[in-house]
Structure 1
Amino acid sequence: MTLDPEDEKILTLARSARARNGTAEGAAVRDETGRTYVATDVNLPSLRLTAVQVAVATAVSSGAQGLEAAALVSDAEEPAQEDLAAVEDLGNAILFHAGLDGSLKGRYV
C-alpha cells in the first residue's frame, strides 16, 4: 500500500516519538488545517492513555475541530477500540497502523 507523503510523515513522526521515549506506542495526528500533533502512551499509576488518545487530546486542546489522518506505531496486531473511537470522535479520519519497524499493518476508517 502506497501512502502519500503527508501520511508517511505522520507515520515517521509516530515511530520516532515511540523510539525516542522508549514507550510501547507512538502516535501522530494531522488536523483539518494540516497541523501535526505527536504523542506516546502514558502509563502512570493514576493515568493510562494510549498514544492515539494523547495525540487526539493534544489536538483538541490546541483547537482542532477535526482530523485528516492519524498514525499509530505499536507491536499490537490492530489498534485498540478506544483508539478508533478517539479518531472517530473528530470525523472520518483514516488511522494508519504500523509495526515497530514501520511496516504498515492496516488502514482503518
Structure 2
Amino acid sequence: MTLDPEDSKIITLARASRARNGSAEGAAVRDETGRTYAATNVALGALTLSAVQVAVAMAVSSGARALEAVALVSDGGPSADDEAVAAELGVKALLVAGPDGTLRG
C-alpha cells in the first residue's frame, strides 16, 4: 500500500515519539488545518492514557475541531476508546503501524 506523504509523516512522528520516550505506544494526529501533534502513552498511578488519547487531547486543547488522520505505532492495536475518540473527531480509520513503521491492515 502506498501512503500519502502526510500520512507517512505522522507515522514517522509517532515512531520518533515512541522511541524517544521508550514508551509502549506512540501516536500522532493531523488536524483539519494540517497541524500535527505527537505523543506517547501515559502510565502513572493516578493517570493512564493511550498515546492516541494524549495526541487527540493535545490537538483539541490547541483548538482543533476535527482530525484528518490518526496514526498509532505499537506492538498491539488500537483500543475501542482510541477508535471512538478518533471517530468522534471525523477519522474513519486509524493508521496502525508496528515499531518498524510497517503499516498493518
TM-score by length of 1: 0.93
Unaligned runs of 5+ in 1: none
One-letter amino acid of the counterpart of residue 84, structure 1? E
> In the TM superposition, what is the alpha-carbon distance from 1:50 to its structure 2 partner?
0.1
Alignment of 1:4-43 (within 5 A): 4-43=4-43
Alignment of 1:55-94 (within 5 A): 55-76=55-76, 78-94=77-93
> In the TM superposition, what is the alpha-carbon distance from 1:71 to its structure 2 partner?
0.3
* 8 Å Cα contact 1:68/1:93 also seen in 2: no
CA displacement, residues 41-71 of structure 1 (integer Å, 9 cap, x when unaligned): 0000000000000000000000000000010
Structure 1 residues 28, 79: closer, same or farther in 2, change over 3 A?
Answer: same
Q: Distance in 2 between matches of 1:50 and 1:8?
A: 21
Unaligned runs of 5+ in 2: none
One-letter amino acid of the counterpart of residue 55, structure 2? A
Provide the residue aligned with 2:50 in structure 1.
Answer: 50
Structure 1 residues 93, 36: closer, same or farther in 2, change over 3 A?
Answer: farther
* 8 Å Cα contact 1:10/1:28 also seen in 2: yes
Helix, strand or coil for the counterpart of 2:38? Answer: strand
Q: Say how many residue pairs are matched.
A: 105
Tell me whether 85-94 or 32-41 shows the greater mean CA deviation: 85-94
TM-score by length of 2: 0.97
> In the TM superposition, what is the alpha-carbon distance from 1:94 to its structure 2 partner?
3.4
> In the TM superposition, what is the alpha-carbon distance from 1:89 to its structure 2 partner?
1.2
